[in-house]
Amino acid sequence: QGCTQKYIVKNYFYYYLFKFSAALGEEIFYITFLPFTYWNIDHSVSRRMIIVWSIVMYIGQVSKDILKWPRPLSPPVVKLEMRTNAEYGMPSTHAMAATAISFSFFIATMNQYKYPFELGLLAAFVFSTLVCLSRLYTGMHTVLDVIGGALISAVLLALLYPAWDTIDHLLLTSPFCPLFSIAVPLVLCYNYPKLDYYSPTRGDTTTILGAAAGATVGFWLNNQYAASAYAGRSVQPGLPLISSAAVFALARFLVGILVVLLTRWVTKSAVLGALGYRYKFPVADRAARRRLEVEVPYKFVTYSSVGFTATVLVPLLHQLLGLM
């Protein structure tokens, strides 16, 4: 499973287009786009996207390890990625994430900002379609995997949309929110479906739920002790497209992402060091880091710290630097 086929790229436009599109469904995109919406667009939009994203991705990841449908055989398919090759195929969580993020963003903003409805719908469709097609081009999924992932995500969006406001209100105002936001994801991570061999799905799921848990606690804390989340916070009266707003948006993003990446590095190093001392293994031991008692706490603590930092500490830093 660690070997790749040799291949010749005949069309570099499609090659780089779909390699880039595939990256839009991975961690590097989540850790940049979702905080960007919180820092530069609207808190309510970001909250709803994170809620939908975490629920959709958890269901998608668990479904893979329950259904256990294999990925396309190689050969005849040429696989351009290897990291996720150990995972099962159905449903495509790239397709699920792309559909959930693009259409939840569209739905959450269409009544708050002035832009053509058709343009927003087209942008969401193009974004999700590119990611879905990238999974076929890279040889990681069948057509059925991709269609199944997109449809499951669409159904979950339709079910969650009527409850958006209620869920958001409870997460912001309930005194039990911090306990609920940490305890439930942890229970789900520790009781993730067991496989006969190691797969990155449990670790990826823990990353997603940890980030959502930390962000949710941050949302609650901000609403309790800072400006009310119902104030409809938007840095500029619309999407940051004009030059001065774009400069401030870029500055907020660069400062924020540096702090987030630093938080991830420091927390990961500290937690892995503590777990290594507790369970007597060197930090560089990849096999040890895949054990349940190590992988879940180190990824959950690391990414919950990232989510909390992005929603609480970074906005405070923005204020101190005069970037608000």
Is residue 94 part of the annotated active site? The answer reads yes
Catalytic residue among 43, 141, 169, 318: 141
DSSP one-letter string for 202-259:
HHHHHHHHHHHHHHHHHHHHHHHHSS-GGG---SSSSSS-SHHHHHHHHHHHHHHHHH
Active site residue 43: no
Residues 6+ apart with CB under 8 A from 81: 22, 138, 139, 140
* Closest of 237, 287, 16, 217 to residue 114, by C-alpha: 237
Q: Would you tell me how many other CB atoms lie within 10 Å of the CB of residue 269?
A: 12
| Distance between CA atoms of residues 143 and 130, nearest Å | 13
Q: How many CB atoms lie within 10 A of CB 232?
A: 10
| DSSP-assigned letter for residue 108 | H
Distance of CA 205 to the CA centre of its chain: 10
Q: What CA–CA distance (Å, rounded) separates 306 from 258?
A: 11
DSSP letter, residue 171: H
| Rg (alpha carbons) of the chain, rounded to whole number | 20
Instruction: Check if the beta carbon of residue 175 is closer than 8 Å to that of residue 271.
Output: no
Residue whose C-alpha is closest to residue 147's, from 108, 95, 105, 103: 95
Q: Which of 43, 94, 169, 318 is catalytic?
A: 94
Which residues are catalytically annotated?
Answer: 94, 141
